A = this chain, B = another copy of it.
Amino acid sequence: MTGAAALPDGGTDVLDGARLTLWAPPGLPEVRPGDDLGVLVGDLLAADARRTGDPLAEGDVVVVTSKVVSKAEGRVVRAADREQAITDETVRVVATRERPDGQPPLRIVENRLGLVMAAAGVDASNTPDGTVLLLPEDPDASARGLREVLRARFGLDRLGVVVTDTAGRPWRDGVTDIAIGAAGLRVVDDLRGGVDSHGRALSATVTAVADEIAAASELVRGKATGRAVAVVRGLARYVPGAASDDGGAAVGPGARSLVRTGPDDLFREGAAEAYARGFADGRAAPSR
């Protein structure tokens, strides 16, 4: 572990020579509707601390998958109702893709959380047979609730909580985890107005810290092992305390603030859908 004093760039370094450490405590039981997730996650972290001698600390971020949040909140739907569940979660269809062998088209939609996701984020992996899971009702509220339970139990002031989900991205193969809920965390690092190492103004640099935390946590949780909880240590600079300059804003703006949709969205509609709409409008337009 490097110490700040040993660093060539010394005290001006916000990273302070610290390492970023992530781990995913094993042993969370199967979560069922009505379970108190705060208690289960607290028990998991307490058992992990006993085993490792390394308890949860000020400035840590606890990352929890939306899957276990949804299970605890009873957001379970019978699998036969999957297409209806997607429709119910949908605010707006963004694009569709035909699928083989008689399956209904895959819908990429904006859901009621503002998230643009395939199948509205309705998920069928790691769930009991015959069921699918909806996303939590309000993942930022879920994160705030978890944060309060864990702060009280472990006697901490500065604690961040992130609720993750897995999403595809245009133009990139594979999925990554993103933050759909957050509390006690600055979800972005807004460097606009700052300067780079040449003293030049940093332009348009707002880093989506909460999404980077979600992605990093996936690397240590791993999909196949089904671990639902990770701890991230070393990002205390993004975890303000109740008594900090942020005061009452310490809970943070939540992951909802990372959503960017609306008229300003250049990709508010799939290319084929926009073309078809344009074609129809062009055909119906009065001739010159």
A52–B234 alpha-carbon span in the complex (Å) = 17
For A202, the chain B residues whose CB sits under 8 A away are 125, 223-224
A169–B175 alpha-carbon span in the complex (Å) = 13
Number of copies: 2
Contact indicator A170/B278 (Cβ below 8 Å): no
Contact indicator B171/A208 (Cβ below 8 Å): no
Contacting residues of chain A (1-48) with chain B, CB-CB under 8 angstroms: 1-2, 6-9, 13-15, 17-24, 26-27, 48
Instruction: Tell whether A84 is near chain B: CB-to-CB under 8 Å.
Output: no
Known contacts A26-B9, A173-B208, A215-B212; is A224 also within 8 Å of B14 by CB?
yes
For A211, the chain B residues whose CB sits under 8 A away are 172, 174, 176, 215
Contact indicator B172/A178 (Cβ below 8 Å): yes
A265 in complex: contacting residue of B166, B171, B276, B282, CB < 8 Å: B171
For A127, the chain B residues whose CB sits under 8 A away are 198, 200
A206 in complex: contacting residue of B48, B173, B222, B259, CB < 8 Å: B173
Known contacts A20-B21, A215-B212, A266-B95; is A272 also within 8 Å of B274 by CB?
yes
Contacting residues of chain A (202-260) with chain B, CB-CB under 8 angstroms: 202-203, 205-209, 211-213, 215-216, 218-220, 222-227, 234-235, 257-260
Residues of A at the B interface (CB closer than 8 Å) are: 1-2, 6-9, 13-15, 17-24, 26-27, 48, 51-52, 95, 97, 108, 110, 115-116, 124-129, 166, 169-178, 188-189, 191, 194-198, 200, 202-203, 205-209, 211-213, 215-216, 218-220, 222-227, 234-235, 257-261, 265-285, 287
